[in-house]
Amino acid sequence: MAGDTVTAWVFISTPQTFQPLDFFLIDTWGPSGAGDNSPLAIGSGILTNTWFQVTDQLVSGVSVDHIGFRLSLTSNFAATMFLDDVVITGP
């Protein structure tokens, strides 16, 4: 998937705000192990209660068959995340 571009629309519903060292990431992995692990937004750049678009160009040459979006947080956090229109485009 190296060179492929992933775009998605994200909505994170929460009354809380993200801390400076909180990350919203995209991960890819497959039978041979981990692929990409890229931050899409950091801290206050992670928007809440509104739709926002994320884009990432994958760089790993590892053969992958899974893709995931996750939050890496520095404190307890309650939220609901929605993803829409996830598109993978070849190079």
Neighbours of 10 (CB within 10 A): 21
CATH number of the domain bearing residue 45: 2.60.60
- Average pLDDT value over all residues in the chain: 90
Supply the range of the domain harboring residue 80.
Answer: 5-89
How many independent structural domains does the chain possess?
Answer: 1
Q: State residue 37's pLDDT score.
A: 83
Q: State residue 74's pLDDT score.
A: 93
Instruction: Tell me how many degrees the CA angle 63-66-69 measures, rounded to the nearest 5.
Output: 125
Q: State residue 56's pLDDT score.
A: 92
Ranges of the chain whose pLDDT falls below 70: none
- DSSP state letter for 50: S
Q: Per residue in 24-38, pLDDT tens?
A: 999 988 888 888 888
